[in-house]
Amino acid sequence: SPQSCVIDTLINGKIQAAIDSKVHSILAKRRLICTTAFSRGANAYCPSGYLATGCACGMACGSWDIRGDATCHCQCANIDWTSARCCKVAIVG
Amino acid sequence: SPQSCVIDTLINGKIQAAIDSKVHSILAKRRLICTTAFSRGANAYCPSGYLATGCACGMACGSWDIRGDATCHCQCANIDWTSARCCKVAIVG
Amino acid sequence: SPQSCVIDTLINGKIQAAIDSKVHSILAKRRLICTTAFSRGANAYCPSGYLATGCACGMACGSWDIRGDATCHCQCANIDWTSARCCKVAIVG
């Protein structure tokens, strides 16, 4: 009936407007967050919740691999340090 | 009129509460997902939908570049293997 | 009262449906975006809003560190170039 249509449209309009503003404000707070995990020796471990996105090694070594999604392992001999770059998506602020 | 105000407030309240809980539950599922693409030779290719965030090379080589957003290319001579670290934001679970 | 229950259920149903479709469509647009910042010398700087996820260096050097979340620094001697892989989460399209 015409009357219920009006209410329908009214509610739909309210819902869309509320969702738009809310979703964008929450989404804007979800960012990429990164940190670095440095360690002596040939392995470096990202903090819980983070994933390794890249690794650096001592001895100018560019040969590394990532184990278990969050551990950097440097493969050259006599590696003195390893550094993991660790990132995640989380709410900021 | 006072009566329509009451309905307004009621509907607005419902909408906000529903959005809050829904948006946070959906957002919480959107995470950073990473994988590694290993390959013989001087190039490694991320799976479709992923972007390269870092590269590792054989021969201790740390000189690399990323081509087309998802391909790691190791620049040193006689590179025996290349590994791409590949990430994306996607819904998990 | 039964009557207000009907309105309640109607409004809740509308809200859930609207939120589902809206949130998923907005979320789908929020992606991981990456770019590369290349520079002569031992430092490369990510554009504003991006974070460094990994670094490459000239001279086959795999020893680098990230400073201030968005600057790649290559540690070997006589570094001729540095490249930063830079990413962020943003709305695409």
A54-63, A69-78, B83-92, C19-28: which has the minimum mean pLDDT?
C19-28
Contacts with A79 (C-beta within 8 Å, 6 or more apart), sequence order: A41, A42, A57, A58, A59, A61
pLDDT higher at C79 or C27: C79
Task: With beta carbons under 8 A apart, name residues in chain C contacting B26.
Answer: 23-24, 27
Which of C53, C60, C87 has its CB closest to that of B62?
C60
Identify whether B45 is part of a domain: yes
Identify whether B19 is part of a domain: no
Note the pLDDT tens digit of each residue in A15-49.
Answer: 778 777 777 777 778 899 999 999 999 999 999 99
Task: Say if A23 is an interface residue toward chain C (CB within 8 Å).
Answer: yes
Residues in chain C: 93
Give the CATH number of the domain where residue A65 resides. 2.60.40.4230
A7-16, B70-79, C38-47: which has the minimum mean pLDDT?
A7-16
How many domains in chain B?
A: 1
CA of B45, closest CA in chain A: separation in Å?
Answer: 15
Identify whether B5 is part of a domain: no
Q: What is the CB neighbour count within 10 angstroms for residue A18?
A: 21
Whether the complex's predicted ipTM is more than 0.85 is answered with: yes
**Domain carrying residue B68:** 31-91
Identify whether C57 is part of a domain: yes
The phi and psi torsions of A76 (rounded to 5 degrees) equal -70, 165
Residue A82 in contact with residue A75, Cβ under 8 Å? no
Tell me the three-class secondary structure of chain C, residue by residue. Answer: CHHHHHHHHHHHHHHHHHHHHHHHHHHHHEEEEEEEEEEECCEEECCCCCEEEEEEECCCCCCEEEECCCEEEECCCCCCEEEEEEEEEEECC
Which of C11, C16, C32 has its CB closest to that of B89?
C32
State how far the Cα of B76 lies from the Cα of C86, in Å rounded to an integer.
23
CA of C68, closest CA in chain B: separation in Å?
Answer: 18
Identify whether B36 is part of a domain: yes
pLDDT confidence band for A2 (50 / 70 / 90): low
Identify whether B43 is part of a domain: yes
Determine the residue type at A11. I
- Chain A with chain B: Cβ pairs closer than 8 A: 79
Identify whether C3 is part of a domain: no
Average pLDDT over residues B9-27: 78
Edge-to-edge strand ranges of the sheet holding A81-91: A30-40, A81-91, A51-57
pLDDT of residue B40: 98
Identify whether C82 is part of a domain: yes
pLDDT of residue C19: 77
Residue of A4, A9, A19, A31 to mutate when probing chain C, most C C-beta within 10 A? A19
Task: Say if C31 is an interface residue toward chain B (CB within 8 Å).
Answer: yes
**Residue of chain A whose Cα is closest to the Cα of B12:** A14
Residues in chain B: 93
